A and B are shown apart, each in its own frame.
Chain A
Amino acid sequence: MSKQKKPRPPVPAWLSLDNAAKIYPAARTKGWMPLFRVSVTLTEEIDQALMQKALEQALVRVPIFGYRLRRGLFWYYLEEQKTLPRVEGDARNPMLPFNLTGGKRFMFRLRCHKRRVALEVFHALTDGYGAATFLLTLTAEYLHLKHGLRIPPQAMILDTREAPRREEREDVFPRVARDVTRSRREEIAWQLRGTREMHRYLRVVTGVMLTDRLLAVAREKKTTVNTLLAAVLLQALLKQKAASRRGRNKPVKLSLPVNLRKYYGADTLRNFSFYVNVPVHTGLGAEKLEDLITYVTHFMGLETMEQQLNARFSANVKAEQNKFLRVAPLFLKSLVLKVMYRATGERYITSTLTNLGNMKLPEEMARYVLRMDLVLGAAQKTPISAAVISAGGRTCFTFSKTMKQSGVERAFFTALVQLGVPVLIESN
């Protein structure tokens, strides 16, 4: 029986960029763009032809991934395109900047290598939650095509037989922003320095741990896994600062993105997250792990209150809606945003730790999924970033860096080993 192709449901011909995304096209340069990568490793080798079919189906369900970036007179925007992307082979050096201009340019790449399928995304399109949702939906569709499985849809696995929903392409920021705003000024952070890696080579070091073991250690310390990992990473950064003679008065600051969807019940697959920069000032003596855990817990507890987050991102929304800014031509806006990003964007942080959490997969899918990985692309200034995701009973913590020195990840992983969490290290 031949299968009939599903007609594509109608989608808007174009969309404006969401509030968080507006900085990214302006901030990118010839050799850099804000990228991140999320991947799924299966228990069997991937059939690329089937993965291509699954990708086509996934794009019908999540059409915003098929849009391309275009320049308008006043703003960048997303435009629908009817062409289809191809599945590509993977490389040892992930997340090289890719070309967004010209015909058939997508804002993501889907790459396969043996048992792993990886999605590399330009941050103007979506955030980690949106990318993971697309990838899990794609993987579920692939498993359906390969093994005839019917994987029940859930929060991050969409039903490809359903039509796309308006809520999934909504820019939620303007809807929930309020009049009360908070200044975006912050203290300048202490910066790591080191010898640069090979040109355009992102060094990736992944530590694979058993999620249960990590959970057990977090419970022993009476905290959450996220706080524990943040505290251990802060401790590793503080050790590096202690060994350096620079910037004694500047704090070590760790940027922790926060998913805003749970606060507002949003279903959007566009960007909808914000960050909290946790500052730790040194000079008060050795920072014990327990002290750092307490500090991070209380700091995050205050800064992740809905009112605080809202006040901070409302300032961005207000700036976007400013009458004078709106009528300024794009080339001028881009120039100003580029300068502002260079001057302030990454000066306020030492490093980033992004955590997508524990992906609870349905039983039908979980038996085919070995693990998931999340990797942040090279930052413009900060030489090291970290990302963590759990799936299939395994937690993968990945450092991505543009410097050769490995002091931070060494201190981090050895600390985890000493806490009783065995770690398997992989690196490119």
Chain B
Amino acid sequence: MSYCVECGVQLSPELERCPLCQTPVINPNRKEPAAPAEAAHPDQIEEAMARIDRGYLRQLSVIAMMVPVVIVLLIDIIDGGGTWSPYVIGALVMLWCFLVVPFVFRSRRPYVYITLDILALSGYLALIAAMSGDFSWYLSIVLPLLVLFGVVLLLMLLVIRRIEMVKLHRGGLLLLLFGALMVGLEIIIDQAIWQETRLTWSVYAATPMVVVALMAWLLEHNKVLKEEIRKRLFL
């Protein structure tokens, strides 16, 4: 075992310099450096996780989007009127929400992004309605459809990500939600066109989903049959 001649401390065998004063270790009795098994610390250095500077990316994406926005605005104003640029600018903002926002914000919650996307799409369609001067189609069909899709999608995500349940129950619930989406779709369309509800095609679409969901539910409770099916169909 070596000692530091300056500090007087004993030094671990693998050290070639004293960590306290950097004096080299000179021990004429020591022929080779200590075997790795005696080293107090591993050799491997861990790499820090590479982190994307999202703040910088956010600013860059906004600046990148401002370029076409400003160009389009200028051309429209110069050409006279400012008649078409809102369509382009609105579309650019909507695309930014769809494509860029999930990457430049840190939130790992898809609910936030889906809600934002629905809001962005409804905002853009509202802009088109405002520019055309007619809100009737927007209020009677577009907005209810977007709300329906948004709610069903969020519920599906909740079922997939957060609610603890067995796979067959989860699959059944998702099918029920899809069936509800079909029915809701037909109700909204019927109300928009005929101002009354006439459930027809959605019943044909939703019924098999309800049946399959029920079968999945029942199968989960019949362990013997479930095991038999799993045995026969394993990949």
**Residues in chain A within 8 A of chain B (CB atoms):** 30-31, 89-93, 96-99, 101-102, 113-114, 199-201, 204-207, 406, 409-410, 413-414, 417-418, 422-428
Contacts and interface: CB of A to CB of B under 8 A. Distances in A.
10 closest A-B pairs by beta carbon, nearest first, are A91-B46, A427-B19, A410-B20, A426-B40, A426-B12, A428-B41, A424-B10, A417-B8, A200-B48, A423-B9
Nearest to A114: B37
A31 B49 CA distance: 9
B181 interface: no
Interface string B46-68: 10110100000000000000000
21 contacts: A89-B42, A92-B41, A92-B43, A93-B45, A93-B46, A97-B49, A101-B108, A113-B42, A200-B48, A206-B40, A406-B21, A410-B20, A410-B21, A413-B9, A413-B20, A414-B20, A417-B7, A425-B4, A427-B15, A427-B19, A428-B40
Contacts of B43: 92
Contact of A424 (B11, B37, B42, B45): B11
Contact of B51 (A30, A92, A406): A30
A140 to B, nearest CB: 24
A374 B126 CA distance: 62
B34 to A, nearest CB: 11
Contacts of B209: none
B9 A92 contact: no
Interface string B1-34: 1001001111110010011111000000000000
A424 B19 contact: no
A97 B42 CA distance: 18
Nearest to A207: B9
A286 B176 CA distance: 81
Indicate the size class of the contact surface on chain B.
Answer: 20 to 34
Nearest to A206: B40
Given A93-B46, A96-B46, A413-B20, A426 B7 contact: no
B44 interface: yes
Contacts of B45: 91-93, 201
A11 to B, nearest CB: 15
Nearest to B18: A425
A360 B20 CA distance: 31
A422 B15 CA distance: 17
Interface in B194-214: none
A414 B8 CA distance: 7
Contact of A102 (B1, B12, B108): B108
A414 B18 CA distance: 12
Contact of B7 (A92, A204, A410): A410
Nearest to B12: A426
Contacts of A414: 7-9, 20
Contacts of A428: 40-41
Contacts of A207: 9
B9 A89 contact: no
Interface of A, secondary structure class, is loop
A427 B12 contact: yes
A402 B10 CA distance: 23
A96 B42 contact: no
Contacts of A413: 7, 9, 20
A406 B44 contact: no
A417 B5 CA distance: 12
Contacts of B10: 422-425
A426 B40 CA distance: 7
Contacts of A89: 42, 44
A142 B48 CA distance: 30
Given A90-B42, A92-B44, A205-B19, A424 B49 contact: no
A351 B12 CA distance: 26
Nearest to B38: A114
A98 B51 CA distance: 12
A102 B107 CA distance: 10
A92 B21 contact: no
Given A425-B18, A426-B41, A427-B19, 4 more contacts: A92-B43, A113-B41, A200-B48, A427-B41
A129 B99 CA distance: 48
A59 to B, nearest CB: 19
B17 to A, nearest CB: 9
Contacts of B51: 30-31
Nearest to A416: B9
Contact of A425 (B19, B48, B49): B19
A427 B10 CA distance: 12
Contact of A406 (B8, B19, B41): B19
Interface string B94-122: 00000000000000100000000000000
Contacts of A424: 1, 9-12
A299 to B, nearest CB: 28
A168 B45 CA distance: 36
Contacts of A423: 9-10
Contacts of B19: 205, 406, 409, 425, 427
A285 B98 CA distance: 68
A91 B44 contact: yes
Contacts of A409: 19-20
A345 B18 CA distance: 33
A31 B44 CA distance: 20
B20 A205 contact: yes
Contacts of B12: 424-427
A414 B19 CA distance: 12
B164 to A, nearest CB: 9
Given A89-B42, A91-B45, A425 B11 contact: yes
